[in-house]
Amino acid sequence: RVVYDLFHVIAKFGREVIDRVRVDQANQLRHDKPARRAVKRSRWLLLRNPENLKGEQAGELKALLDLNQPLMTVYLMKAQLKELWYARTERAARWRWTRWFNMAQASGLAPLIRFARLLKPYAEGIIASAVYRLNTSVLEGMNNRIKVIKRMAYGYRDSDYFFLKIKAAFPGNPR
């Protein structure tokens, strides 16, 4: 079965939903410069996990969400979307998906509705994550390390030496 990774889906949600709603809200606040500036500068507050916020950032986020209903909606929908990956059973994941999808459709926010419709064909892969607890974090880290070696390797005349550098970066039993 195909299993979709939490990180990539949430990152796409951030780019396509949170950013779009944030920009739309900032555009509606053209007349109120301080409020517009607060919304425009809130990108990283909205994208960051709540447990990673510093003390003053948590207060800023709370104030922002208290004053802006659409941002509050997409922020909470992001948290509920994440919960799909932590369902204990496939049945619970399916129930969470259906609930999330219906709430997204009822939200009245065009970017959220569009994202939910785009995500619907991939629902089975998200639901499968309840059974197959997979993530790509180690693989992503390895790919990034190889990219760094490749940048540092500019000028190597021998591809064998490049592959030796990659092998040296990841000691252990090769599979």
pLDDT digits (tens, 9 = 90+) for 133-165: 877 777 788 889 989 888 887 767 788 888 888
For tokens 């940048």, the residue is: 151
**What does pTM read for this prediction?**
0.79
Q: Quick one: 20 and 104 in the same domain?
A: yes
* pLDDT at residue 139, as a whole number: 79
Q: Quick one: 162 and 76 in the same domain?
A: no
Query: Count of domains in the chain?
Result: 2
Q: Quick one: 86 and 151 in the same domain?
A: no
Q: Quick one: 117 and 83 in the same domain?
A: yes
Max distance between CA atoms of the chain, in angstroms, equals 62
Q: Quick one: 64 and 118 in the same domain?
A: yes
Reported confidence tier of residue 112, pLDDT bands at 50, 70, 90: very high
* pLDDT at residue 152, as a whole number: 82
Which residue from 66, 70, 62, 57 is spatially nearest to 26, judged by alpha carbons?
Answer: 70
Q: Quick one: 124 and 150 in the same domain?
A: no
* pLDDT at residue 11, as a whole number: 93
Residue 116 has pLDDT above 80, yes or no: yes
In a domain, 81, yes or no: yes
* pLDDT at residue 175, as a whole number: 57
In a domain, 49, yes or no: yes
- The single-letter code of the amino acid at 92 is A
Q: Quick one: 75 and 25 in the same domain?
A: yes
Q: Quick one: 21 and 74 in the same domain?
A: yes
* pLDDT at residue 173, as a whole number: 64
Residue 108 has pLDDT above 70, yes or no: yes
Please give the residue range of the domain that contains residue 65.
6-130
